[in-house]
Amino acid sequence: MKPVQAAADQSALLAVIVTSVRPTGADKKATTTWFDMFRIENGRIAEH
């Protein structure tokens, strides 16, 4: 599991942002960032 960089919520939506650094070749690295968005209903994930 990658460490969470940030999380933001608004009403029933939650966005979780994750970053990963991976090697791409000799002495080079690439940073990628992605997010997952969830809709929360009654304290549970209702949609991903």
Q: Where are the domains of the chain?
A: 4-47
**pLDDT at position 14:** 92
Average pLDDT of the chain is 89
Residue 39 has pLDDT above 80, yes or no: yes
List the structure tokens of 16.
């979780």
Kindly report, residue by residue over 9-23, the tens digit of the pLDDT.
888 999 999 999 899
CA distances from 21 to 18, 35, 43 (A): 11, 15, 32
Q: How confident is the model at residue 1 (pLDDT cuts 50, 70, 90)?
A: low
Instruction: Return the DSSP state at 48.
Output: -
